[in-house]
Structure 1
Amino acid sequence: MSGLRLGVRVPPCARADRLVDTVRRAEELGLDRVWFPDSQLLWRDVFTVLTAAALGTERIGLGTAVTNLATRHPSVVASAARSVAELAPGRFILGLGVGNSSVGPIGLRQSRAAELREGVAMLRALLSGAEWQFGDRVRSRLRDPGPEVPIHLAASGPRNLRLAGEIGDGVILLSGISPATLAAATARAREGAAAAGRGAAVPLTVSAFCAVTDDIATAARQLKPVCASIAQNGGADFLALAGIRVHVPARVEDVYPDLVHAEDWEAAVAICSAWVSDEAAVRFAEEFCLFGTADAIADRLRTLHAAGVGEVLLQHVGSYDLPTELIETVGMSVLPVLRGR
């Protein structure tokens, strides 16, 4: 299992210097990467946090999961990514998405496919030191382009999955680990890679909520807002493939800023209980997430690796506390089982 990498999502919910201790602990325990999400109103600036993490660690990989090209101009992202890559050469992945929680709270729309395509092309040109035509008259370039920066695209819908496979150096799958949905998402990403003449192989990272527990029923209750959000955002059919039938209103009041990033998580759980039963939450945890004992999680990770997944991005429930418990339990109990220590 040496080929499977395990990363963990660390929301920048505390001062950058304080986050470094969490990243160092992940490094000490043998995790392969720390991924930081980017949402300017929810958390600290992602590139400030990445800089602190790069300076405070030696081995562990770093990445954005994800930043965007809507609130940040591609030329700004290129400069920031180069700056981090200089401090952590060979350790940094630039993960990009359509915007989600960055654009919603300020009334912007998510990036469209054509905008992502052009933005990635601009990023690659600037990071390589080439000039780019801005508008009708201006051609500019990035001074002192640094180390190579892999660009991975996060996607869930069929069109964006194909686009990610076509133009990304890797794909971050947001479909969870349910075999049916994972197979469908993987197929779309590989179709995009093949259409671009890159072969069917494309590095795949799968994002999954994780909890090491022997009481799935109790732990799964915390997943109700996540399950409801998937149904609310066009994923009801995916859930139905796993026998989970959830109908959620297009707008849910009294949850800020949204279901997945709710500031009052327990209140969000209570509200979502109107649409997501305890049984549905358990089914969701078992099908789409990595909830269970260390042995059970290790077995599922082996299955993912056999299906062509190169990295798993582990998430804890919640956005405003650090995943300290997840890092400890995965590092102390799952990794030794997975890697035969």
Structure 2
Amino acid sequence: MDFGVVLQTDPPASRVVDLARQAETHGFSHVWTFDSHLLWQEPFVIYSQILAATRKVVVGPMVTNPATRDWTVIASHFATLNEMFGNRTVCGIGRGDSAVRTLNGRPSNLATLRDAVHVIRELGSSRAVELNERTVRFPWSVGSALEVWVAAYGPRALELTGQVGDGFILQLADPDIARWMVRAVRDSAEAAGRDPDDVTICLAAPGYVGDGSSPSARAHMREQCRWFGGMVGNHVAEIVRRYGTDSAIPQALTDYVREREGYDYNQHGRAGNTHAAFVPDEIVERFCLLGSPHEHVEKLRELEALGCDQFALYLQHDNKEETLRQYGERVIPAMAHPVVATA
């Protein structure tokens, strides 16, 4: 299993770059960021600095969208970074949430998302594409390679992901829900004539390493990560509006949003926000990874058995450096397949 870290691009940007450098030192292979240009600083500018300060990590947004950026500009960003730093980028994309809604816009429909995935991947991989009744390409781009991973929750979005995504981003770490969603993506890939194993599975959720046996410490961890249930609930509420509560979507995902009253994007992805009180402790525990390194490893092994290729660790809490250190020294080594010098 690979490990990524998900950062917000809060100022100063040098702090984001430093956390990315620490992540690479501790064995993380990917550095992701939020992409919401009103709420945080511009990620593509910061990617250039992260790549310059590191040796191997792959960078990308978790996630961008087809609505707030021109697709050819997105592809140009990636192709330029790849030329500068040697194909160390990946494009995470979804229909659009905070970047769109803060502008009073609407998420893109799935047909638009499908087209955007194709255009961004082709141009970002130094290939020509048909767009607006013209054949276009970057004449300066040679040898760029870009994968596009699709973030999804609802049935139709999961189906689309299996049909066109190089990867699937699922923003929660509940094994029961993940099992259903991973199966839906793989079934869709197989129905589309693809090898289901060609779709990289990335699960992303907050991880907080601390004293899992202390009730007060455990409660603090939950409060630091409760925002995530609110963020996921923002997507789930839309799914419930569209499909109702009697669809094939697991009830464990849909039940908890019944008490949801609203969402304040000014506090999006932040610990201690005021709109996540409806998220019960059980959901925080199920959706996130909390507790001792041993507890993290146990849950990660369960997720790996479901087909998770990468776990992306959200670090929006007050224990960033220590969590990175514990992952580097205890969690990631425990998840590695043993290699012996002699046998």
The reply to whether TM is greater than 0.5 is yes
Asked if the contact 2:81/2:89 (under 8 Å) is kept, the reply is: yes
Unaligned runs of 5+ in 1: none
Aligned residue number for residue 188 of structure 1:
184
Aligned residue number for residue 225 of structure 1:
227
Q: Tell me the TM-score normalized by structure 1.
A: 0.85
Give 1:92 deviation, angstroms.
1.7
Please give the alpha-carbon distance, in whole angstroms, between the structure 1 residues aligned to 2:42 and 2:58. Answer: 18
One of 261, 266, 269 as aligned partner of 1:261: 269
What SS class does the counterpart of residue 209 from structure 1 fall into? strand
What SS class does the counterpart of residue 103 from structure 1 fall into? helix
Unaligned runs of 5+ in 2: none
Give 1:163 deviation, angstroms.
0.7
Aligned residue number for residue 113 of structure 1:
110
Aligned residue number for residue 92 of structure 1:
89
One of 160, 164, 174 as aligned partner of 1:163: 160
Kindly tell me: are residues 127 and 233 of structure 1, through their superposed partners in 2, closer, same or farther at Cα, counting changes over 3 Å? closer
Please give the alpha-carbon distance, in whole angstroms, between the structure 2 residues aligned to 1:6 and 1:160. Answer: 24
**Cα deviation digits, residues 88-147 of structure 1 (max 9, x gap):** 3243211111121110111221111100111122223323444444434x4432122242
Asked if the contact 2:24/2:54 (under 8 Å) is kept, the reply is: yes
Please give the alpha-carbon distance, in whole angstroms, between the structure 2 residues aligned to 1:25 and 1:272. Answer: 30
Please give the alpha-carbon distance, in whole angstroms, between the structure 2 residues aligned to 1:199 and 1:127. Answer: 23
The answer on 1:135 being equivalent to 2:132 is yes
The answer on 1:34 being equivalent to 2:45 is no
Please give the alpha-carbon distance, in whole angstroms, between the structure 2 residues aligned to 1:73 and 1:52. Answer: 23
Asked if the contact 1:232/1:248 (under 8 Å) is kept, the reply is: no
One of 323, 328, 331 as aligned partner of 1:326: 323
**Cα deviation digits, residues 201-231 of structure 1 (max 9, x gap):** 2210001111112232331123333324434
Give 1:256 deviation, angstroms.
4.4
- Number of residue-to-residue matches in the alignment: 322
The answer on 1:103 being equivalent to 2:100 is yes
Please give the alpha-carbon distance, in whole angstroms, between the structure 2 residues aligned to 1:42 and 1:218. Answer: 25
Q: Tell me the TM-score normalized by structure 2.
A: 0.85
Aligned residue number for residue 125 of structure 1:
122
**Cα deviation digits, residues 155-204 of structure 1 (max 9, x gap):** 11111111112101111112x22222111110111122112211222210
**Cα deviation digits, residues 275-300 of structure 1 (max 9, x gap):** 34xxx21x123322111110110121
Alignment of 1:35-54 (within 5 A): 35-54=32-51
Asked if the contact 1:29/1:332 (under 8 Å) is kept, the reply is: yes
Please give the alpha-carbon distance, in whole angstroms, between the structure 2 residues aligned to 1:34 and 1:5. Answer: 11
Asked if the contact 1:32/1:60 (under 8 Å) is kept, the reply is: yes
Asked if the contact 1:193/1:199 (under 8 Å) is kept, the reply is: yes
Please give the alpha-carbon distance, in whole angstroms, between the structure 2 residues aligned to 1:312 and 1:76. Answer: 28
- Identity, % of aligned pairs? 28
Please give the alpha-carbon distance, in whole angstroms, between the structure 2 residues aligned to 1:245 and 1:131. Answer: 45
Aligned residue number for residue 306 of structure 2:
307
Kindly tell me: are residues 305 and 23 of structure 1, through their superposed partners in 2, closer, same or farther at Cα, counting changes over 3 Å? same
RMSD: 2.6
Please give the alpha-carbon distance, in whole angstroms, between the structure 1 residues aligned to 2:231 and 2:31. Answer: 24
Please give the alpha-carbon distance, in whole angstroms, between the structure 1 residues aligned to 2:255 and 2:307. Answer: 26
Kindly tell me: are residues 267 and 145 of structure 1, through their superposed partners in 2, closer, same or farther at Cα, counting changes over 3 Å? closer
Kindly tell me: are residues 230 and 73 of structure 1, through their superposed partners in 2, closer, same or farther at Cα, counting changes over 3 Å? same
Asked if the contact 1:27/1:60 (under 8 Å) is kept, the reply is: yes
The answer on 1:248 being equivalent to 2:259 is yes
What SS class does the counterpart of residue 106 from structure 1 fall into? coil
Kindly tell me: are residues 272 and 208 of structure 1, through their superposed partners in 2, closer, same or farther at Cα, counting changes over 3 Å? closer
Please give the alpha-carbon distance, in whole angstroms, between the structure 2 residues aligned to 1:7 and 1:83. Answer: 22
What SS class does the counterpart of residue 24 from structure 2 fall into? helix
Give 1:84 deviation, angstroms.
1.4
Asked if the contact 2:33/2:61 (under 8 Å) is kept, the reply is: yes
Give 1:5 deviation, angstroms.
0.6
The answer on 1:206 being equivalent to 2:203 is yes
The answer on 1:197 being equivalent to 2:196 is no
Asked if the contact 2:11/2:41 (under 8 Å) is kept, the reply is: yes
